[in-house]
Amino acid sequence: GLRKKEVNVLCLGLDNSGKTTIINQLKPANTQAQEIVPTIGFNIEKFKTSSLSFTVFDMSGQSRYRNLWEHYYRESHAIIFVIDSGDKLRMVVAKEELDTLLNHEDIRSKRLPVLFFANKMDLRDAMSSVKVSQMLCLDNIKDKPWHICASNAIKGEGLQEGLDWLQGNAF
């Protein structure tokens, strides 16, 4: 049959935002990890949808590993950026990291799609995706297609909507 188009996705965001939990949910049930631990460095995960074959670089968000992110910008076709919607204190740190990413020379000139997950929407004091979008000034992103979804990675809610957007608009 036809080979599925191969897409490299870089999954970024602060530590504890839920990146690995999200990627784990997107994998087939029989390959999902039972327990999620903080990522050291990065992990590479692969999964297929009906039309695409994804290779995801699930990066650690810990500050000591964030310098690894930029090494993968050039080969990426899309970015998933995960935010902990309940972590108001570190929203400014998330914005700083996002701005650094968007201003990087390997990203700045590229029209690659950016999918945001406003994750942990189940937390009682979680900010809405609209609020998260305002805090991160996403409206300032003019040269790339972007989309934000509220998600609960533990239950898997909101993830398919995000993936559908990536598949539909991005490639």
Cβ distance to Mg ion smaller for residue 145 or 156: 156
Decide whether 76 or 151 has the Cβ nearer to ligand GTP: 151
Enter the tokens of residue 78: 């899309």
| Interacting positions 70-129 with ligand GTP (CB under 6 A) | 82, 119-120, 122-123
Instruction: Please report, in angstroms and rounded to a whole number, the separation of the first and last CA atoms in the chain.
Output: 20
Q: Does 152 bind ligand GTP (CB under 6 A)?
A: yes
Task: Candidates 34-42, 71-79, 127-135, 137-145: pick the segment binding ligand GTP (CB under 6 A).
Answer: 34-42
Q: Work out whether strand 52-59 and strand 42-48 pair parallel, antiparallel, or are unpaired.
A: antiparallel
Among the options 32, 34, 62, 167, which is catalytic? 62
CA distance 4 to 49: 9
Min separation Cβ 39 and Mg ion, Å: 3
Burial environment of residue 105 by CB neighbours within 10 A (0 to 12, 13 to 18, 19 or more)? exposed
Q: How far is it, in rounded angstroms, from Cα 30 to Cα 47?
A: 12
Select from 108, 102, 78 the least CA-distant residue to 171.
Answer: 78
Member of 8, 16, 55, 167 binding ligand GTP (CB under 6 A): 16
Note the residues at the interface with ligand GTP (CB under 6 A).
13, 15-21, 36, 38-39, 60-62, 82, 119-120, 122-123, 152-154
Residues that are catalytic: 62
Sites of contact with Mg ion (CB under 5 A): 19-20, 39
